[in-house]
Structure 1
Amino acid sequence: MVLCTLLLLLLQSSLLAAAAKVPAVIVFGDSSVDAGNNNFIPTIARSNFEPYGRDFEGGRPTGRFSNGKIPTDFICEAMGIKEYVPAYLDPKYNISDFATGVTFASAATGYDNATSDSVIPLWKQLEYYKEYQKKLGTYLGEARANQTISEALHMMSLGTNDFLENYYAFPGRSSRYTPREYQSFLAGIAENFIRELYGLGARKISLGGLPPMGCLPLERTTNIVGGNECVPSYNTIALEFNDKLKKMTINLNKELPGMKLVFSNPYFILLHIIRKPSLYGFQSASVACCATGMFEMGYACSRGNMFSCSDASKYVFWDSFHPTEKTNSIVANYVVNNVLSQFL
Structure 2
Amino acid sequence: MSLKSLCYCLLLLVVHFSLSASSAAAGKVSAIIVFGDSTVDPGNNNFTPTVAKANFPPYGRDFDGGVATGRFSDGRLVTDFLSEAFGLPSSVPAYLDPATRSSSSPRSVIPLSQQLEYFVEYKERLKLVKGESVANKIIAEALYIFSIGTNDFILNYLVLPLRPAQYTAPEYVAYLIALADAAVRDAYDLGAWKIEFTGLAPFGCVPAARTLNHDEPGECNEEYNKLARRFNAELQQAVWKLNDELAGAQVVYTETYSVGSAIIANPSDYD
SS at match of 2:167: coil
Q: Per-residue CA shift, 1:134-180, capped at 9, x if unaligned? A: 01111111122111111100111111121111122233221222111
Alignment of 1:78-117 (within 5 A): 78-95=85-102, 98-99=103-104, 101-103=105-107, 105-106=108-109
Which of 253, 258, 264 is matched with 2:243 structurally?
253
1:139 aligns with 2:129: yes
Match of 2:17 in 1: none
Match of 2:160 in 1: 170
TM-score under structure 1 length normalisation: 0.69
Distance in 1, matches of 2:115 and 2:106, equals 11
SS at match of 2:41: coil
* Superposed displacement of residue 225, structure 1: 2.4
Match of 2:13 in 1: none
Q: Is the 8 A contact 1:20 1:151 kept in 2?
A: no
Q: Is the 8 A contact 1:74 1:84 kept in 2?
A: yes
Which of 103, 128, 141 is matched with 1:151 structurally?
141
1:188 aligns with 2:178: yes
Match of 1:69 in 2: 76
Match of 2:52 in 1: 45
Structure 2, gaps ≥5 residues long: 1-22
* Equivalent AA in structure 1 for residue 34 of structure 2: V
* Superposed displacement of residue 102, structure 1: 3.1
* Equivalent AA in structure 1 for residue 235 of structure 2: L
Match of 1:242 in 2: 232
Match of 1:217 in 2: 207
% of aligned pairs identical?
49
Q: Is the 8 A contact 2:200 2:231 kept in 1?
A: yes
SS at match of 2:113: helix
Which of 122, 129, 148 is matched with 2:112 structurally?
122
TM-score under structure 2 length normalisation: 0.88
* Superposed displacement of residue 18, structure 1: 8.3
SS at match of 1:194: helix
Distance in 2, matches of 1:224 and 1:177, equals 22
* Equivalent AA in structure 1 for residue 87 of structure 2: G
CA RMSD of aligned residues (A): 1.6
Higher relative contact order (CA 8 A, sep 6+): 2
* Equivalent AA in structure 2 for residue 84 of structure 1: S
1:23 aligns with 2:46: no
Whose radius of gyration is greater, 1 or 2? 1
Change (3 A) 1:198 1:161: same
* Superposed displacement of residue 271, structure 1: 1.2
* Superposed displacement of residue 91, structure 1: 2.0
Say which is worse superposed, 165-174 or 57-66, in terms of deviation. 165-174
Distance in 2, matches of 1:268 and 1:245, equals 16
User: What is the count of residue pairs matched by the alignment?
Assistant: 249
Q: Is the 8 A contact 1:157 1:209 kept in 2?
A: yes
